[in-house]
Structure 1
Amino acid sequence: MTERDIAAAPDTSRLTPVELRTYRAALRGEVLPDDEPGLASLLARDILFPNTHEPGTYVPAPSRYLETQLTDAVLKALTGVTAALAAVPAHVRELEAEQQRYHYSPSPVGTLLLRTVPEVNAETIRTIQSAESEILTAQPGHRKPQVLKGALPRDLQAAQRGVTVRTIYRTNGRSNPTQRDWVATMTRAGAQVRTLGEDFLRLIIVDRKHAFFEVYGDDGTVQPAAAWYTQDRGVCAVLAAHFWQQWERADPWLPGETDSGAAKDDGDTKTTKIQRTIVRGIVAGKSHRQIGENLGLSERTVTAQVSKLREALGLETVPQLTFWWATSPERLLP
């Protein structure tokens, strides 16, 4: 019995208007032709019986018998519906097998705005707990100790069940004791962590099927309590590509490593903060003009800063400068 059959099945617990009209005619003793509308069903259900003394007329079943007949009819219908319901799971499995046979993979499309911190937390926890292969996380902001401690069991469980976990933090997070503890525990479980000394997009990507990312207001400011959640495979792919760009530029935070290897801005450094920002832009492939636009400086000022830094380091070319930067602890400064 299909869903359409169930919907179209007559209500056998009561007479139809046609049957009721014929039933009343029989009660009045009228002679009814064999093809009288509704007569055949009334006879089949033993609601009317032929009057053997007066051919063409019919007598009704006793009222106590009517209740039994109508109840039995309903029970038969319910039996059919119950059997149909019981068959649904097996039929669904058959359809799933057909999908697998033809390598069909649904791609849910849609983006949901999570407006509050509880909404964001509930959805991210649910998604991370169901992760099957990969969790990519970029956290540019300061994470409160209670947040890190609360997330550790969930993140650790994911890593221990074989999920690849990669996380990017800001460089200044290396001086956060709670963050160092999180990194030490997670890296021992196989997770990989890197740090980046510049702003980047906050996001979480799970299995390339789910993504959470920042919400920006009309004025361009980040809405800290909210997040976009999407299952659009195209959006997830773009965000994953963005993550990998940041990952390649970030510095590994090795197991057991603290902030002891980071340079201290104690007045003895060779670079200024603006020069470090400029060099990071160069390493990212940006032109002097683009770097200047981001910093609110002229292209000439950016070029002058690069020349000044090369002179201070005794370097002749920009490639030499980028090589020095790749090995210098000053890249870990903000």
Structure 2
Amino acid sequence: MALVKVVLPFERDQGPRYCVLTHFMKRKHTLKADQDITTAPNTSRLTEAELDIYRRALRGEQLDPSDPVLTELIGRGILLPNTHDVGTYVPTSYTYVESQLTAAVQRALAQATEAMAGIPAHVRELEAEQQRYNHCPSPAGALQLTSVPNVNAETIRAIQTAEFEILTAQPGYRRPKVLKGALPRDLEAAQRGVAVRTIYRTSGRMNATQREWVGTMTRAGAQVRTLNEDFLRLIIADRRHAFFEVYNEDGTVQPAAAWYTQDRAVCAMLAAHFRLQWERADPWVPEANDWAPEGRAGGEPELQGQTVTTKMQRTILRGIVAGKNHKTIGKGLDVSERTVTAQVAKLRNALGFETVMQLTHWWATSPERLLP
């Protein structure tokens, strides 16, 4: 990788002030400053030494051809050898000099533009190499966004630039205006192949606008689930950008504010938390299992009589559906594998089922799956 400095003049009548553009370039496109941009002058004004040689040439004096200052002026097209008087030099027209200087600067700008265009790809190459060797630098700290416009601006940017995954957890009520405004952006992400997964509260199934959002998004390939318990509000894009609520010391949440971090460790931890909530949540496919009972509040399912399952058994069933074995489920509940097996057998006998497959099929259609 080469470090190339391109020096450009400002206005000629303002003296030798410079604008330096520094660019890192890919090795395969490396430029040698003393070879490819030799015609780009350090300044459009002559130095005192150059001006002295120029004046001597105008006076017709004999000049030393090995003089580096003379060589520079010839190389830049400002002086030319006099073919009628060896050892003397003649100036080119000022219009020609102007065209040469302009062309040199334009070439330098074109090369600098090409170098700048290669920076993102070069950085991605370096990032890929770091990941190959399990090196994940984490910029420290988090930025507190203290207004709705700031929160929206950063989250929209993260969602619009997401490449493979968007995870969102929305435990609160989302106004119809907010849902309708977010739909085009969320839909565009799903349609370009980004895996979109969203968790809502179970009560959201009663929200007509939310059902419409879910229907549109799931048809585009997104996945939505609901959870009938408290969980953190999160937005995670590509596990590189994470947004979460700002909590006060007393546990209350600051309204219209959010933390934004690119710390890889924090993003990974929050993504792991999301996965735990996701495994406990129930799929929301409006065409298959949507429900919105009239006149009911709180989003609780209509259950006839006493429930069959206990809270522990419901947690076990969610673990089975998520593909976990009894030992792993037991660790999560802080009970033994034998206890999990016994609970499954007890519930199977209570329902009159012979196999776990029958039990999981019943669970998939039972309103009890919407209980905490």
Task: Report the counterpart of residue 228 of structure 2 in structure 1.
Answer: 197
Measured in 1, the distance between the counterparts of 2:255 and 2:80 equals 71
Letter in 2 for 1:84: Q
In the alignment, which residue of structure 2 is the partner of 1:139?
170
CA contact (8 A) 1:216 1:222 kept: yes
Q: Residue 125 in 1 paired to residue 126 in 2? A: no
Provide Cα deviations, 1:228-275, integer angstroms capped at 9, x if missing partner.
233333322211110011111223334331144943599x777xxxx9
Question: Does the Cα contact within 8 Å between 2:54 and 2:79 map onto a contact in 1?
Answer: no
Question: Is the Cα contact below 8 Å between 1:264 and 1:333 reproduced in 2?
Answer: no
Residue correspondence of structure 1 range 15-94 to structure 2 within 5 A? 15-21=46-52, 38=69, 45-46=78-79, 67-68=94-95, 70-71=97-98, 73-75=100-102, 77-78=104-105, 80-81=107-108, 84-85=111-112, 88=115
Instruction: Kindly indicate whether the alpha-carbon contact (under 8 Å) linking 2:227 and 2:281 is maintained by their aligned counterparts in 1.
Output: yes
Cα deviation per residue 1:147-195 (whole Å; 9 max; x = unaligned)? 1222233333433444333221122223323223333333344433222
Assess if the C-alpha contact under 8 Å between 2:200 and 2:224 holds in 1.
Answer: yes
Residues 128-277 of structure 1 aligned to structure 2 (within 5 Å): 128-256=159-287, 257-260=290-293, 262-263=300-301
Alpha-carbon distance between aligned partners in 2 of 1:119 and 1:210, rounded to the nearest angstrom: 15
- Measure how far apart 1:283 and its partner are: 9.7
Alpha-carbon contact 2:303-2:367 (below 8 Å) kept: no
In structure 2, how many angstroms separate the alpha carbons of the residues matched to 1:331 and 1:31? 100
8 Å CA contact 2:6, 2:108 repeated in 1: no
The residue aligned with 1:4 is 5
Give 2:268's aligned amino acid: A
Matching residue's letter, 1:214: E
Name the CA distance, whole Å, in 1 between partners of 2:122 and 2:219: 43
Q: Which amino acid aligns with 2:210?
A: Q
Q: Is the 8 A contact 1:47 1:66 kept in 2?
A: no
Decide whether the 8 Å contact of 1:13 with 1:73 is kept in 2: no
- Check 1:49–1:224 CA distance in 2 against 1; reply closer, same or farther (3 A cut): same
**Per the alignment, do residues 12 and 117 of structure 1 end up closer, same or farther by CA in structure 2, a change over 3 Å counting?**
closer
Q: CA deviation at 1:137?
A: 1.3
In the other structure, the counterpart of 1:298 is none
Q: Measure, in 1, the Cα distance between the counterparts of 2:156 and 2:84.
A: 74
Are the counterparts in 2 of residues 115 and 226 from structure 1 also a CA contact under 8 Å?
yes
Question: SS state of the match for residue 137, structure 1?
Answer: strand
> CA offsets per residue over residues 271-319 of structure 1, 9 Å max, x none?
xxxx989x98x999577xxxxxxxxxxxxxxxxxxxxxxxxxxxxxx94
> What SS class does the counterpart of residue 252 from structure 2 fall into?
coil
Counterpart AA for 2:200: Y
- Residues 39 and 227 (structure 1), Cα distance of their counterparts in 2 relative to 1, 3 Å cut: same
Structure 2 regions of 5+ residues with no counterpart? 8-19, 21-32, 34-39, 294-298, 316-328, 335-341, 351-359
SS at match of 1:118: helix
Q: Is the radius of gyration larger for structure 1 or structure 2?
A: 1
**Whole-Å separation in 2 of the counterparts to 1:43 and 1:155:** 61
Aligned AA for 1:212?
F
Q: Corresponding residue for 2:37?
A: none
TM-score relative to the length of structure 2: 0.57
1:202 deviates by 0.5
Q: Which has the higher contact order (CA 8 A, sep 6+)?
A: 1
Amino acid at match of 1:46: L
Identity %: 54
Alignment TM-score, normalising by the size of structure 1? 0.63
Give distance in 2, aligned partners of 1:183 and 1:97: 34
In 2, are the aligned partners of 1:188 and 1:255 still within 8 Å (CA)? no
The CA RMSD measured in Å over matched residues stands at 5.2
C-alpha spacing 1:95/1:152, structure 2 compared with 1 (3 Å): closer
CA 1:69–1:230 in structure 2 vs 1: closer, same or farther (change >3 Å)? same
- Tell me the amino acid that sits aligned with residue 173 of structure 1: G
Change (3 A) 1:13 1:108: same
8 Å CA contact 1:197, 1:331 repeated in 2: no
Q: Which amino acid aligns with 2:233?
A: R
Aligned-partner residue type, residue 153 of structure 2? A
